[in-house]
């Protein structure tokens, strides 16, 4: 009997900075609607980046990402995903996805949620990408940057950086992705 998963398009999810060190049950709200339509893979951003798992301080974890972890994660993601994929990524996971797309990752559709480090990017990616940011996220890119990247984006009213952990947003994101 053949594995049906091999005939389904691939959809990957890349976690936020906390990865598997914290309860990721919120991720189920994103993966569940796609289970019968996609071959799903969930990647922990920390694992992709080779982050020291003995460190739990968010600031020190962030520092590891900035000091080479993002680049390690990009290389690992490209190594793991050689076929065309779809991506939904959260915070630092979106930065990893963006940078991997700039290198060679073959992405059909992508939604990046609260990926605030993208504000430092100067080169736009090609393809179908939507960016979502919370209105109250102090580190979201400004409107000039958003317009210059020539991608779809939405600012969610009264939402904070970790808005992606809310069921209501997960439902909206999944519905929009399924209807593209």
Contact status, residue 64 vs residue 49, Cβ threshold 8 Å: yes
Report how many domains make up the chain. Answer: 1
Region of poorest pLDDT, from 1-10, 25-34, 139-148: 1-10
Output the pLDDT for position 6: 58
3-state secondary structure at position 110: strand
User: Can you tell me the distance from the alpha carbon of 74 to that of 79, in angstroms, rounded to the nearest whole number?
Assistant: 9
Token code pair at residue 153: 């984006």
Contact status, residue 24 vs residue 91, Cβ threshold 8 Å: no
| Number of helical (H) and strand (E) elements in the chain, helices listed first | 7, 6
| Sheet with 10-14: strands ordered across | 39-43, 10-14, 85-90, 107-113, 128-134, 152-156
Q: What range defines the domain where residue 111 resides?
A: 4-178
pLDDT in tens, 42-95: 999 999 999 988 888 889 999 999 999 999 999 999 999 999 999 999 999 999
pTM listed for this prediction: 0.93
Mean pLDDT on 153-162? 96
Region of poorest pLDDT, from 23-32, 35-44, 139-148: 23-32
DSSP string, 9-62: PEEEEE--TTGGGS--GGGHHHHGGGTTTSEEEEE-HHHHHT--TT---HHHHH
User: Can you tell me the distance from the alpha carbon of 163 to that of 156, in angstroms, rounded to the nearest whole number?
Assistant: 9
Write out the H or E segment, with its range, that includes residue 103.
helix 92-103
User: Can you tell me the distance from the alpha carbon of 93 to that of 114, in angstroms, rounded to the nearest whole number?
Assistant: 9
User: Can you tell me the distance from the alpha carbon of 80 to that of 102, in angstroms, rounded to the nearest whole number?
Assistant: 16
- For the chain, what is the mean pLDDT? 92
Output the pLDDT for position 20: 79
Q: How confident is the model at residue 2 (pLDDT cuts 50, 70, 90)?
A: very low
Q: How confident is the model at residue 24 (pLDDT cuts 50, 70, 90)?
A: confident
| Long-range Cβ contact pairs of 30-35 (< 8 A, separation 24 or more) | 30/88, 30/170, 30/173, 30/174, 33/174, 33/175, 33/178, 34/174, 34/177, 34/178
For the domain that residue 102 is a member of, what is the CATH number? 3.40.50.1820
Output the pLDDT for position 125: 92
Q: How confident is the model at residue 1 (pLDDT cuts 50, 70, 90)?
A: very low
């Amino acid at each position: 009997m053949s594995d049906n998963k091999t005939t389904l398009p691939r959809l990957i999810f890349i976690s936020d900075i906390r990865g598997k060190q914290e309860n990721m049950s919120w991720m189920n709200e994103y993966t569940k609607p796609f289970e019968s339509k996609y071959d799903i893979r969930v990647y922990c951003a920390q694992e992709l980046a080779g982050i020291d798992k003995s460190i739990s301080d968010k600031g020190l974890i962030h520092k590891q990402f900035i000091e080479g972890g993002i680049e390690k994660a990009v290389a690992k993601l490209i190594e793991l995903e050689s076929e065309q994929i779809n991506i939904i990524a959260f915070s630092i996971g979106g930065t990893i996805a963006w940078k991997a797309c700039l290198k060679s990752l073959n992405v059909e559709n992508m939604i990046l949620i609260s990926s605030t480090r993208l504000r430092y990017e100067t080169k736009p990616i090609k393809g179908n990408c939507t960016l979502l940011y919370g209105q109250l996220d102090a580190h979201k890119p400004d409107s000039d940057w958003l317009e210059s990247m020539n991608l779809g984006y939405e600012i969610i009213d009264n939402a904070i950086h970790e808005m992606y952990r809310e069921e209501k947003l997960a439902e909206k994101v999944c519905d929009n992705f399924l209807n593209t």
